[in-house]
Amino acid sequence: MSIDLSLDRIRKLLAHLPPYSRPTIHVAGTNGKGSVCALVSSILSASSPPFVVGRFNSPHLVSVLDCICVANQPVSAEVYSTARQEVERIDRENDVGASNFELLACTALFIFERAAVDIVVLEVGMGGRLDATNAVPDECILVSALTAVDLDHQAFLGNTVEAIAREKAAIARNGKPFVIGPQVHPQVVDVARQTATVAGATVVPPAAVTLAEGSDERGGREFGDMALSGAPPPRAVKVSMACFDEPVLAALPLHGEHQLANLEIAAGIISALIAHPACQRLDHRLQARITPAAVARGIEKTRWPGRLSYHTFTLPSQPSNGRQNAQVTVLADGAHNPASATALADYLSDLLARSPGRPLALTYVLGLSHSPPKTPAQTLGPLFALSERLPQGCQVRIGAALLRFTPPEGMPWVRSVPPSEMRAAIESLVPDPTSGLELWSPSAETAAGADNAVDIFEQALCWAAERQGDREDALVVVAGSLYLVADFYRLLDRLGQAQGIWGAN
């Protein structure tokens, strides 16, 4: 089924299910909304006593189960299957013809209602105004928020950031607080504010987040002394929230400058939750439960896989081809559009500029979704302009493995950009034959001999490991699509090295 944005079908579905009544936080945006949802969920879960939080994110990472979390853990296959079958039965018997995403969103709401979770954190799928998640009744919404807006999905949302912002800000509800996050495009703030005001929402600012004294702007206090063999330490941050007299001091484990902006939005949501009269239906003792200490704990415990996530693991030996055990450090990031690719490139350029002077073998493992009018060159451009941004004396050898990803479950419209198209785009971005750029993609024979995309992904990592010289550091960056990042996590799971991806319960 192609994408047909409408609220008619999901409203018809919801009318045949037990009424949805969970207090809900609703988050829209182009980039950062998943991170904001993860931060908010973690803070609420760290409260005393803790809230039982249901969280819905899309698309899924490894399996459809991780779209729907209760208490920060994906629901079980049994819970999901039981709810999904009931939703599909209603869809079938009432001839609704719901899309797969509408069925998924409805399943999530059904699970949260049945589990009687204390609060739901709901991420918009696409856009906002006509997204299935916007069918949640007004009386359930506590706070809505808008993260960074940029060009993406123009075929459905409009060809300008103003048009896209208008669609996304339409989740604002009458009489409820609406948090507008920091924006790259100033006009987004004006459009979002106007849209929210027309809806009758109360526009509230995000919190203010700064790096604590002595903390490095990328890594932490000891960032300059580290090698590229693992994750930089968390950054010490100071979070100023309208609901507290003093700033909250915390360690932020999410990497990248953009995560400071995402934390501003998340903390703004929490502040509105505590202070706005419309949110008092949740618990009149919110301020006693969500203390500064709880906010700090929640920030420090936040996990959001596949967004500047570091993983160091061992590729096992293969006697058949003489390969020895190889330790690999991977930075996995779902950057899939020009804005998020620029954020990744910003992070990498600062990371490499601040690392010790050893040469580096940097290998991208890339896969892209076919998503016109967005082109491969637009998304990949920031990553292959990296060398131009590094200081003199920073020695980096860049290579790239170009892959297809496993087709995501239940999303037949999603397809990979062929490696040949990515290769052509990269060669147009780096036309200098003396650049030393190395490109790898599976041969027809290799592809035919592999059982699935994960097998080929493992071969790409082997190639990346072989690129490292004796006197070089090495870093592998998996990017271009969350669907490709999912293949990386499937490989970790197959190797028995996927423990702790979602964090402790």
For residue 12, CA distances in Å to 100, 131, 327 come to 15, 14, 52
My answer on whether 265 and 117 are in the same domain is yes
CA distance 473 to 494: 26
pLDDT digits (tens, 9 = 90+) for 259-279: 999 999 999 999 999 998 888
Averages of pLDDT over runs of 10 residues in the chain (505 residues) are 75 94 96 95 95 94 92 95 97 93 96 96 92 95 95 70 92 97 94 96 96 60 48 92 95 93 98 88 73 97 91 74 74 91 90 75 94 90 87 84 90 89 95 85 73 90 86 88 94 80 55
3-state secondary structure of 480: coil
Please check whether residues 231 and 355 belong to one and the same domain.
no
Contact 376, 368 (CB under 8 A): yes
- What lies within 8 Å, CB to CB, of 277 at 6+ separation is none
Domain boundary among 280, 300, 320: 300
294 and 331 both lie in a single domain = no
Length of the chain: 505
CA nearest 241: which of 202, 201, 274?
274
Residues 6 or more apart from 190 whose CB is under 8 A from it? none
Tell me the three state secondary structure of residue 453: helix
Structural domain harbouring 61: 8-300
In a domain, 386, yes or no: yes
347-353: long-range contacts (C-beta < 8 A, 24 or more apart)?
347/218, 347/255, 347/256, 347/257, 347/308, 348/383, 348/386, 348/477, 349/386, 349/389, 349/390, 350/217, 350/218, 351/218, 351/219, 351/228, 351/232, 352/386, 352/390, 352/394, 352/396, 353/390, 353/391, 353/394
Q: Which two tokens stand for residue 99?
A: 């899309």
**Rounded distance between C-alpha atoms, residue 285 and residue 84, angstroms:** 35
Q: Are residues 211 and 242 in the same domain?
A: yes
Do 96 and 214 lie in a common domain? yes
Angle between helices 100-115 and 77-93 (to 10 degrees): 120
pLDDT of residue 225: 41
Query: How many domains does one find in the chain?
Result: 2
502 in any annotated domain: no
Name the 3-class secondary structure at 148.
strand
393: Cβ contacts below 8 Å, ≥ 6 apart:
357
Same domain, 176 and 207: yes
Q: Is residue 204 part of a domain?
A: yes
Q: Which amino acid is at 162?
A: E
Does the residue 499 lie in any domain? no
**Tokens describing residue 300:** 């420090």
pLDDT, tens digit (0-9, with 9 covering 90-100), for 430-489: 988 768 899 999 987 766 656 689 999 999 999 999 888 776 788 999 999 999 999 999
At 64, the amino acid letter reads: V
Q: What pLDDT does residue 477 have?
A: 96
Token pair for 128: 């906002």
- In this structure, what token pair is assigned to residue 354? 């601040």
Longest CA span, the chain: 67
Q: Tell me, what's the pLDDT at 21?
A: 95
250: left (phi over 0), alpha (psi -120 to 50) or beta: beta
Kindly state whether residues 428 and 362 are assigned to the same domain: yes
Q: Is residue 484 part of a domain?
A: yes
Q: Are residues 412 and 360 in the same domain?
A: yes
For residue 503, is it within any domain?
no
Q: Which of 275, 300, 325 is the last residue of a domain?
A: 300
The H or E element spanning position 475 is: strand 473-479
pLDDT at 361: 87
Residue 505 covered by a domain = no
3 state DSSP class of 100: helix
Pairs from 5-8 (Cβ < 8 Å, separation ≥ 24): 5/126, 5/127, 5/130, 5/131, 5/156, 6/130, 7/130, 7/132, 7/134, 7/135
The per-residue pLDDT for 448 is: 62
Instruction: Pick the closest to residue 7 from 133, 123, 96, 108 (CA basis).
Output: 133
pTM above the 0.95 mark? Answer: no
**Which amino acid would we find at residue 434?**
T
Q: According to the model, what pLDDT value does residue 215 have?
A: 57
**pLDDT at res. 443:** 82
Based on the number of CB atoms within 10 Å of its own CB, is 211 exposed (0-12), middle (13-18) or buried (19 or more)?
Answer: middle
d(CA 231, CA 126): 31
314 and 422: one domain? yes
- Specify the amino acid at residue 21: S
Residue 501 lies in a domain: no
Cis before 373 (ω within 30): yes
> Considering only CA atoms, which of 447, 422, 350, 338 is closest in space to residue 389?
350
Q: From CA 442, how far away is CA 454, in angstroms rounded?
A: 12
Domain closes at, from 300, 317, 341 = 300
Q: Can you give the CATH number for the domain in which 390 is found?
A: 3.90.190.20
